[in-house]
Amino acid sequence: MQLYGNFVDNLRVHVKGGTGGMGYPHFGGEGGRGGDVWFVAREKINLITVKARYPNKRFVAGTGANSSVRALKGDKGKDCEVGVPVGITVTTDDGEEIGELNKAGDRLLVARGGLGGELVTNFQPSKGQKRIVRLDLKLIADVGLVGFPNAGKSSLLSKISHAKPQIADYAFTTVKPELGKIMYPDLKQISVADLPGLIEGAHVNRGMGHKFLKHVERTKQLLFVVDVSGFQLSLKTMFRTPFETILLLTKELELYNEKLQTKRAILAVNKMDLPNAQDNLHELMKQLQKPQDFFHLLQKEMIPQSTIEFKDIIAISTFTGEGIEELKTCIRNSLDEEREKENEEYHKKKLDILQALEV
């Protein structure tokens, strides 16, 4: 189990299907099948709740009923149903994916019950499936905030939503994911996830590493947040300009999972209230127009294979409020456009299928 403050995103448990029931040789009776173990996605539940409710982390289904004179066909054993959070991926201990539970009500069979005894088995039942599985939580949000520590992600989340993340003037204030919702006047809501800050080498599990990156996978879009003055983690690390910061963030996403780069992305250039902010922004915009011309600023292994083309670039200040409303509008417009595009593609596929059936 991985625990960050009051947040758990990984749990390892033992599951076992029920043993089948005994057959009845004299009359050819068949024993009941053993019960199955199911994970069921439910709202308002988290992995801490699961751990507290089942401290031994063992889930065993019921044994199938034996065949008898009164009931030649034995009843199936009782299934074991375990409530788990929405957004869970279930894998074997070897890392093989069993399935995902992405919405409330989704069900996943994780351990099958054994067969009841019958003629072909000499009326002896089989044992249920037994294994250790991992529950891996990946947050589901519309927008995921991406940035190095102290870029102002937590401050931004508190400005655009009702979330109250920890905010301080030191690098790692976010050590567990925070979720907030942007509320619009027409009651539209957009969920935003503020995730622990990346550092160089996150893809190989430095800093928050995979604990952060895996949560990015299920966000619909990315919101990069960079400090207009640049970033330096400590006196022992190199200072990075805003442009270098963007390239390094892109590289970390690429090394973890290339598909992350295909997500729509918006860039928020934060801390525009600081001295020389306008000059730094002007330089950044020039570099983003022709990024290849500035690749020499970084070592070759730090340069991403492809750069992210931001749908919008918004200059903001979480201190003064500059650009916050414009950013909220951009986020909504971008998600609405993506949703319309998905709907168009869905209807086109449906039309193509219908046309193919008519031929």
Note whether 161 and 227 are same-domain residues: yes
Domain of residue 328: give its range.
141-342
Note whether 152 and 88 are same-domain residues: no
Out of 137, 156, 187, a domain closes at 137
Q: Residue 115 in 3-state DSSP?
A: coil
Q: In this model, does residue 176 exceed pLDDT 80?
A: no
Helices 153-160 and 324-358 cross at an angle (nearest 10°) of 80
Neighbouring residues of 91: CB distance < 8 A, sequence distance ≥ 6:
97, 98, 133, 134, 136
- Give CA torsion, residues 196, 197, 201, 203, to 10 deg: 40
351, part of any domain: no
Neighbouring residues of 358: CB distance < 8 A, sequence distance ≥ 6:
none
Name the phi and psi angles at 182, rounded to 5.
-80, 125
Q: In this model, does residue 4 exceed pLDDT 70?
A: no
Note whether 294 and 170 are same-domain residues: yes
Distance CA(338)–CA(334), nearest Å, equals 6
pLDDT of amino acid 155: 87
Question: Would you say the pTM of this structure is higher than 0.85?
Answer: no
Round the CA-based radius of gyration of the chain to a whole number and report it. 26
| Beta strands in the chain, from DSSP E residues, in sequence order | 2-4, 7-16, 37-42, 58-60, 80-85, 88-92, 97-101, 107-111, 130-137, 141-146, 178-183, 189-194, 219-227, 264-270, 312-315
More confident residue, 211 or 80: 80
* Residue whose token pair is 């020499």: 296
Distance CA(171)–CA(234), nearest Å, equals 9
Note whether 210 and 238 are same-domain residues: yes
pLDDT of amino acid 359: 60
Note whether 103 and 233 are same-domain residues: no
Out of 137, 168, 199, a domain closes at 137
Provide mean pLDDT across the span 37-53. 91
Note whether 166 and 299 are same-domain residues: yes
170, part of any domain: yes
Q: In this model, does residue 171 exceed pLDDT 50?
A: no
305, part of any domain: yes
Distance CA(134)–CA(94), nearest Å, equals 9
331, part of any domain: yes
* Residue whose token pair is 């001295």: 275
Note whether 160 and 283 are same-domain residues: yes
Provide mean pLDDT across the span 87-94. 90
Note whether 176 and 307 are same-domain residues: yes
Closest CA to 46 of 80, 13, 87, 78: 87
Name the phi and psi angles at 92, rounded to 5.
-75, 170
> How many CB atoms are closer than 10 A to CB 43?
10
Joined together, the tokens standing for residue 54 give: 């089942």
Distance CA(241)–CA(250), nearest Å, equals 14
Q: In this model, does residue 226 exceed pLDDT 60?
A: yes
| CATH code of the domain covering residue 17 | 2.70.210.12
Helices (H), the chain: 47-53, 153-160, 209-216, 242-256, 277-289, 324-358
Q: In this model, does residue 106 exceed pLDDT 80?
A: yes
Q: How many domains does the chain have?
A: 2
pLDDT of amino acid 164: 58
181, part of any domain: yes
Note whether 159 and 117 are same-domain residues: no
Note whether 173 and 287 are same-domain residues: yes
CB-side neighbour CA atoms (13 Å) of 93: 7
Note whether 129 and 253 are same-domain residues: no
356, part of any domain: no
pLDDT of amino acid 200: 46
Note whether 237 and 269 are same-domain residues: yes
| CATH code of the domain covering residue 233 | 3.40.50.300
Provide mean pLDDT across the span 90-97. 91
**Identity (one letter) of the amino acid at 26?**
H
178, part of any domain: yes
Candidate from 64-73, 149-158, 320-329 with smallest mean pLDDT: 149-158
260, part of any domain: yes
